[in-house]
Structure 1
C-alpha cells in the first residue's frame, strides 16, 4: 500500500539525486573509477500540468518518474540510458474515452499478484512500460491496530541514510548525497480527442514482509540496488520473468511517526514529514479566528448561565411555596385578608374578645 509520498526537490535537484553508474569506467592512478551519468529531464505536455515539489504528494498529482530512454529513441546508445518524465499518479487506461479524470477506477497501486490477469496492467507490462517512482519517502498509516481511520498512526518510511543525514531536515543533506526511495511501477500513455498525451503511472505492491507487516499488510516493491533498477527498466534486453524476479521485499528500511496534519492531502506544510516529537504544536488562533473563538466561548458561557438559572428557578419556586403554606408565618396568612388598597398604615383595627362575638 502506498497512498502518499514526499518529494521536495526541484527538477534540477531531482536529476542530481538520480545519477546512475555509467557502463564506461576510467582508470585513475591504478584504480578503476566508475563514472556516473545524469538522466535527461523530459517534460511532456501532460495537458498543461506540471510537477510541483511537495511534502505531501497525493494521487492525481504529477511527480517525476524514471523510465528507459529506449521508449523515446531507437539508438543503441540509448538502451541503458535513463530519462525522467513527470507523470500523473494514478494510471489512466489508454482505452478510456472522455474526461481522463472520470474513468472511475482506483489505479494508484497495482497488485503484483493480479498484474498478469488485469486488463488495465497486463498491456503496459507486456509493452515494457516499466518505470521507477522516486521520492524521499512515502507515508503509511498503521492498519494492524483497531482504530478509526482518522485516529490511525501515520509514519514516513524511507531508506537508511548516511549518519549525518536526516531525511526530514534539508539542512543536513543535498541532492548529491541523499538516497531517494525507488519504487517499481507501470506507466501508460493516454490521448485526448486532440491527440494531446497524458503520462500516468501506478505503483506495484505486494504482501508485506516482516519488515513492514507490523504496520500494514501491503508494501510497495522497492528497488534497493542498481542491478534491480537495470533489470526493471531495461525492457529491451531483460525478459518479463527476469524483471518480475527483481521485485522482492526490501531488506532495510527506516521510519518515524509523523503528525496527523499529513492526513489532509491539502496540507503541504514542512511539518508533514517531521518526527512527531519535533512537529510544531497547533498555534493559538489569531485575528478574526481568535475573535470568533472568543465569542463562541462567551456565548457558551452565557448559555451555561441561562441553564444554571433555569435549574435554580424550580428550587426558588419550591422555597416560595413552602413559605406561603407555612402556618408559622402570620404575614403570609394576613396578606390574603388585607384590603387591596389601604389609605394609611396607621389604621388600627379594634379587636374584640373571642367570647363576645355574637352570631
Structure 2
C-alpha cells in the first residue's frame, strides 16, 4: 500500500481543486466569506516527462504534488504558500549513478516506523522536503482474505463527498466542489550527468487503523484538515516533531469495490474507478479472438487430444476393415489378379511392357 491512484484532472483543474484558505488570515466571528487561494503550477522538465491525467496511475508515472513555495523563494510572504508541481512516483536515491530507472529499490512507499533510520528518507525529511500527493482516490486490494493475487478484490478508497457527488461519475462534480484525497509524502531531487533534474516522491504509510484494517494491514498517511496540511508543508516554521504529529490515521473514508480491469496498470479506461456492479460486461469475443480467449486449461487440452487420437485410431481401423471386405481389394477372397511390370531388353534400349501374371500375394 499504496500502489495505484486515480486522478483525471488536467493541470488547470488540479489547481482549482487544490485551492486553500490563506494561512495568515484570521476571520473569526466574521460573516465575510473567506476567499481561497489558488496554488501556482510549477512545471519542471523532469527529463522530458509530463503528467497525464489517468484513471489508473501507477508507480513511475508523473503526478501532481503540493509543496511549500519556500523551497523556491526566500520571500517572507512565500513561507506558507503552496506550489503544485509534477513529480515521479517512486523516489530516486540522490546518490544513484546511471539510468534513474535502474536503482533497484522499491520506493513507492515510505514506512513511517523506519523513516528516521532510512538512508534514503532521513535526508529529505531533515531538509524539510515534505510534500502532499493529491488524487481522487487510491486503489487497494484486500489482503486480509486468503486468495491468489489475481483473485483479490480491488477497491477505490476516497474521502467523503457532498451527497450529490459521485466520485466515479464526473458528470456529478466539478474541480471546484470535489474533495481530493491528500497523502503525506517526501520528495527528493536527482540529477543526471548533464545536470538535468528529476523530482520524485514516496508516499508515507503506517499500520492500518480500524477504518481500513479489514482491507489491508497498511494505509497511507492521509491529511484530512487544513491544519494538518499547513503543519506538514510549512517546514520553515513547523519542527520535525510537530510535522510528524500531524500524521495520524484518517477518521473518515469511503470506498467501493471495482472491477479487475484495474489490476493491469496499462488499462486506463474510465471503467477502472466505477463500482463493480456498474462495470460494463465485456462483449463476447468473435473469430480468432474467441479461439484465443476460449482456450481450455492444459490438462483439459491433453485429455481432449487423447480422446481425439483414440477416435482417429478407431476410425482408421473401421476404414481398414471396410477396405478388406471390398470386392476390389487385393486382400479380399477371389480378388482380381493385378498386372505386374516386367522389363524386356530390346537391343540397347529398354522398354517397359505390362504382362498379366498372377499376383505374388
TM-score grouping bracket, smaller chain normalisation: 0.7 to 0.9
Distance 1:31 1:296, change over 3 A: closer
Q: Distance in 2 between matches of 1:225 and 1:298?
A: 51
Check whether the contact 1:25–1:33 (CA below 8 A) recurs between aligned residues: no
Q: Distance in 2 between matches of 1:221 and 1:8?
A: 22
Q: Which runs of 5+ in 1 are unaligned?
A: 325-335, 343-359
Distance 1:260 1:193, change over 3 A: same
SS in 1 for 2:228: helix
Q: What's the counterpart of residue 292 of structure 1?
A: 288
Which of 309, 312, 321 is the matching residue for 1:310?
A: 312
Deviation at 1:291, TM superposition (A): 2.7
Please report the TM-score for the alignment, with normalisation by the length of structure 2.
Answer: 0.83
Deviation at 1:75, TM superposition (A): 0.4
1:188 aligns with 2:184: no
Check whether the contact 1:185–1:202 (CA below 8 A) recurs between aligned residues: yes
Q: Distance in 2 between matches of 1:154 and 1:52?
A: 23
Task: Render the CA deviation track for 1:76-106: whole Å, top value 9, x for unaligned.
Answer: 0001100001000000011111111111100
Q: Distance in 2 between matches of 1:299 and 1:177?
A: 48
Task: Render the CA deviation track for 1:290-333: whole Å, top value 9, x for unaligned.
Answer: 3314667999999799557337449959x99xxx9xxxxxxxxx
Q: Distance in 1 between matches of 2:28 and 2:294?
A: 78
Task: Render the CA deviation track for 1:109-160: whole Å, top value 9, x for unaligned.
Answer: 0000000000000000000000000000000001111111111100000000
- Stretch of structure 1 that moved more, 199-208 or 303-312: 303-312
Q: Which runs of 5+ in 2 are unaligned?
A: 326-330, 338-361
Q: Distance in 2 between matches of 1:49 and 1:140?
A: 26
Task: Render the CA deviation track for 1:40-98: whole Å, top value 9, x for unaligned.
Answer: 00001101111000000000000000000000000000011000010000000111111
Q: Distance in 2 between matches of 1:129 and 1:297?
A: 48
Q: What's the counterpart of residue 54 of structure 1?
A: 54
Q: What's the counterpart of residue 137 of structure 2?
A: 137
Deviation at 1:163, TM superposition (A): 0.3
SS in 2 for 1:37: coil
Q: Distance in 1 between matches of 2:37 and 2:173?
A: 21
Check whether the contact 1:26–1:35 (CA below 8 A) recurs between aligned residues: no
Deviation at 1:193, TM superposition (A): 1.0
Check whether the contact 2:284–2:290 (CA below 8 A) recurs between aligned residues: no
Please report the TM-score for the alignment, with normalisation by the length of structure 1.
Answer: 0.83
RMSD of aligned alpha carbons: 3.1
SS in 1 for 2:34: strand
1:68 aligns with 2:63: no
- The aligned length equals 326
Q: Report which of the two structures shows the higher radius of gyration computed on alpha carbons.
A: 1
Deviation at 1:34, TM superposition (A): 1.9
- Stretch of structure 1 that moved more, 258-267 or 303-312: 303-312
State how 1:239-250 maps to structure 2 within 5 Å.
239-250=239-250
